[in-house]
Amino acid sequence: MQRRTLLKLGLASAVVLAVAGGAVALMQPGLQNGKLSEGARLIFARAGETILAGTLPTDEGPKQIAINSLLDRIEAFIAGTPEHVQAELSQLLGLLNTAAGRRGVVGLSPDWHEASVGEIATAFQTMRVSSVSLRVQAYQGLHDIVSASYFSGQESWAVLGYPGPRAI
Amino acid sequence: MSSLPDPIQEGLARGWKVLGGAHGALPASITCDVAIIGSGAGAGITAELLTKAGLKVVIIEEGQLKSSKDFKQREPEAYASLYQEAAGRQTKDKGITILQGRSVGGTTTVNWTSSFRTPPATLKYWQEKFGLTDYTPEALAPYFKQAEERLNIAPWQTDPNENNELLRRGAAKLGIKAEVIPRNVKGCYNLGSCGMGCPVNAKQSMLVTTIPFALDGGATLLVETRAEKFDISNGRVQGLSCIAVKPNAAPVNANGVATQIVAKHYVLAGGSINSPALLLRSKAPDPHKQLGTRTFLHPVAITTAIMANAVKAWDGAPQSIYSDHYLNTQAIDGPIGFKLEVAPLHPVFFGANLPGFGEKQAQLFRQYPNANVMLALMRDGFHDQAVGGKVELRSSGAPLLDYPLTDYVLEGARRSMLAMAEIQFEAGAKTVYPGHEMGEGTTTWLETKAAINALPMKPLLTKIGSAHVMGGCGLAADDKRGVTRPDGVHWQLENLSIHDGSLFPTSIGANPQLSIYGNVNRLAQGLAQRLTNKAVSLV
């Protein structure tokens, strides 16, 4: 069942699944009762650090607060999506949380904990322009969810110079 | 607490019949004259006219009933509660993201108010290719005029904001005609937050016009209620099964129908993805395999410019200037034509549409007040390589649009990016970024021209969006070419009419809301006449 649904993610995803091999059978869902699993939180935290590099606070403490806030907003966003979107995201995050999925889809050798932002950025850039649809779809999914969720937070508006809603 | 009047709260207080969600449990069964599925552009016009004719009407809406007190000009809440799939609806290969409304008022609650009559060239094509001989500008004119009067549609009188003005300025320098957009507003505060619901009830959407009219006239509105399936036999719809749904469209109860509606006539107006999907779930007759086909999107290509001066694209009427130069100066069935407009930019929308990530994206973020995103709405449906998409069903019964991006359409993306970038430079751009994963910011027109010409135009790599869904239950003079008769009745089901953008046999080549209002106005007047022998009109 999981395998069949994953194949819908993209025509060329069979190639990635072949690389991922038996890992699919061991996959844990990325969402559990609508909440991000520990592995999925780590993926979004590292994706957030990479995608928002240059935008997030540079000091470690404020940066961590911003990332935690981002993760909360991502969770709230996902809770509002239809069941099919949640199922697909859960499977994608589950796949990216396996070593084979991380290597096959993201192209990242070190695990999500150990990889530097530079290594993740290099992997994301390759995903972004890949000829394998699933890799581009996965990149765009991470990018759009991270970017949209971050800038939905009022505290990010100062970076943008956005004054917020006009008083009426 | 806002001191502004809230027509929805006032209506509820004076006894509107609204059920579903927090408004009260759905009854097990309802009998009525006409059940209208949806509450957007087509549904609202139909509800007003049929109520005026004295018919007992029930309106079924999957989304929530919101009102001006809920519209806080904040994107996350608005996208989650007012848009299909939390504003993340995508085509099957995820190549196109579709913004489509999902609350009482449908897309009219969240659109940017641009209102155009169906272009004569589009109608001419329908006459020639689909036998719609009565779809002429002259025959439709009175119906458009009524809709314009009822909904306060007129060219925007206020000066355009800088975001729109730069389109006019850049186009003028190139000798390209750009004009003022008609908008459906009354007492507009020029806030710029139309896409998040109008907090001052200035936008004359279905939420504040026709739906309140119908409710004041005794109609019943079911909200957070999905029309799940028609029961069909003997060439007629015998009943409609509905279920209660949560805000994210998941069923409230795993097992079963919440309410069964029996009507003399049914009007399907759920929009061009949900209307075909309901017919597919119902296994409606489709002898010529037309249902759900020819679903169009006006695929939208973008270029982002960082202008020399501040733009503040979040502020002021979202769209007030357009150019049809690239629609009107070439054959309708030649290389794909496109309409040029601009997008309002709020932080989430801007963030999700920006190219790249990391430091490069951060540089763009820091220049947000100077950013302009130009849009090219490509006119699909007029060429054999622009046949649009096909609505399918997921295993859950939820709809999915398969819209493969052909080379023909993608070359249109390239041509439109070239046109937009040139206008942006003429208007004072310092840097232009094509909407493409391989696009980089370039600082002169010649450099940008070369860069855009070198980009591989492929699905996913080329950033394509859409806010207009049309077709899927197309009109035609015979059942081999379409799903719906010229009078709006389903070709095989005599007591079912289709009154929404799914009727259109091609895309419109313009923002479609007024096309839906005008065309449905005529169809609904005809239906009211047939059902009651009474003549009614919008004004």
Q: Say if residues A105 and A16 touch (Cβ distance below 8 Å).
A: yes
Give yes or no for B393 touching A (CB within 8 A): no
Tell me which of A5, A85, A122, A159 to substitute to probe the interface with B (most B C-beta atoms closer than 10 Å).
A85
d(CA A153, CA A151): 5
Question: Along the 168 residues of chain A, how does pLDDT read in single tens digits?
Answer: 343 444 344 434 544 555 555 556 668 899 998 899 999 999 999 999 999 999 999 999 999 999 999 999 999 999 999 999 999 999 999 999 999 999 999 999 999 999 999 999 999 999 999 999 999 999 999 999 999 999 998 888 988 999 999 998
Q: Chain A neighbours among B 105-164 (CB < 8 Å)?
A: none
What is the largest distance, in Å, between two alpha-carbon atoms of chain B? 67
Handedness of CA B504, B508, B513, B515 (dihedral sign): negative
Write a three-state SS string for B5-35.
Answer: CCHHHHHHHCCCEEECHHHCCCCCEEEEEEE
Q: How many Cβ pairs closer than 8 A exist between chain A and B?
A: 130
What are the distances in angstroms from CA B89 to CA B80, B223, B357, B404, B498?
Answer: 12, 21, 22, 15, 23
Question: Looking at beta carbons, which residues of chain A come within 8 Å of B195?
Answer: none
pLDDT score of A2: 41
Read off the pLDDT of residues B347-389 as tens digits, 9 standing for 90 and up.
999 988 888 999 999 999 999 999 999 999 999 999 999 999 9
Angle at B485 between CA B483 and CA B486, to 5 degrees: 130
B370 touches chain A (CB under 8 A): no
Query: In A, which residues are within 8 Å of B347 by CB distance?
Result: 151-152, 156-157, 160, 162
- The whole-number pLDDT of residue A155 equals 84
| Distance in angstroms (rounded) separating the CA atoms of residues A109 and A119 | 9
* Cβ–Cβ below 8 Å for B248 and A162: no
Cα dihedral: B468, B125, B389, B511 (round 10)? 0
Q: Which residues are registered as beta bridge partners of B326?
A: none
Q: Do residues B460 and A137 touch, judged by C-beta distance below 8 A?
A: yes
Please tell me the predicted confidence (pLDDT) of residue A24. 60
DSSP letters along B454-502, please? Answer: HS---TTTB-EEES--EESS-B-SSTTT-SB-TTSBBSS-TTEEE-SGG
> B347, A54: Cβ pair inside 8 Å?
no
- Are the Cβ atoms of A54 and B359 closer than 8 angstroms? yes
Angstroms from A26 CA to nearest CA on chain B: 24
Dihedrals phi, psi of B226, to nearest 5 degrees: -100, 130
Amino acid letter at B478?
Answer: D
- Interatomic CA distance for residues B33 and B219, integer angstroms: 10
Record: contact B80-A83, CB cut-off 8 A: no
Q: Quick check: A128 and B437 CB within 8 A?
A: yes
Which chain B residues are Cβ-neighbours of A142 within 8 angstroms? Answer: none
Closest residue by Cα to residue B460 from B75, B92, B206: B92
User: Tens digit of pLDDT for each residue in B179-234?
Assistant: 999 999 999 999 999 999 999 999 999 999 999 999 999 999 999 999 999 999 99
The β-bridge partners of B103 are B64
Q: Specify burial of residue B250 (Cβ count, 10 A radius: 0-12, 13-18, 19+).
A: middle
Closest partner residue to A168 (CB to CB) among B2, B347, B351 is B2
- Tell me which residue of B188, B386, B231 sits closest to B298, measured CA to CA: B386
CB-CB under 8 Å, B248 with A82: yes
The answer to whether the beta carbons of residues B532 and B300 sit under 8 Å apart is no
For residue A112, the distance in angstroms to the closest alpha carbon of chain B comes to 17
| Cross-strand bridge partners of residue B230 | B240
The DSSP output letter for B444 is: S
* Test the B interface: residue of A4, A72, A137, A140 with most B CBs within 10 Å: A140
- Closest-CA residue of B relative to A57 is B362
Q: What is the mean pLDDT of each run of 10 residues along chain B (539 residues)?
A: 84 98 96 98 98 98 97 95 95 97 98 98 98 98 98 98 98 98 97 97 98 98 98 98 96 89 98 98 98 98 97 98 96 96 96 89 94 98 97 96 98 98 98 96 98 97 97 98 98 98 98 98 98 97
Q: Is B367 helix (H, G, I), strand (E, B) or coil?
A: coil
**Taking the CB of residue B460, how many other CB atoms lie within 10 A of it?**
22
Do the Cβ atoms of B248 and A81 come within 8 Å? yes
Q: Say if the Cβ atoms of A137 and B80 lie within 8 Å.
A: no
DSSP assignment string, B112-123: --B--PPPHHHH
Judged by a CB distance cut-off of 8 A, whether residue B252 touches chain A is no
Report residue A128 CA to chain centroid gap: 13
Q: Are B261 and B101 in contact (CB under 8 A)?
A: no
Nearest to A133 among B4, B315, B460 (CB): B460
Contact list in A for residue B193 (CB cut-off 8 A) is 165-166
Q: Are residues A147 and B314, on separate chains, in Cβ contact within 8 Å?
A: no
Q: Is A114 on the interface with B (CB under 8 A)?
A: no
Helices (H) and strands (E) in chain B, counts: 14, 23
- For residue B111, give every residue at least 6 positions away whose Cβ sits within 8 Å of its Cβ, in sequence order, or none: B101, B194, B195, B205, B467, B511, B513
pLDDT on residue A17: 54
Instruction: State the Cα–Cα distance between residues B4 and B72, nearest whole angstrom.
Output: 13
ipTM of the complex: 0.94
Residue indicated by tokens 């309002």: B344
Please judge whether A79 and B85 are an interchain contact, meaning their C-beta atoms are less than 8 angstroms apart. Answer: no
Q: How many angstroms away from the CA of A100 is the closest CA of chain B?
A: 23
* Residues of B with Cβ-Cβ distance to A160 under 8 angstroms: 347, 350, 365-366, 368-369
What residue of B is the nearest CA neighbor of A54?
Answer: B359
List CB contacts (< 8 A) between A54 and chain B. 358-359, 361-363
CA A157 to the chain's CA centroid = 22
Q: Is B363 on the interface with A (CB under 8 A)?
A: yes
Q: Residue B263 in 3-state DSSP? A: strand
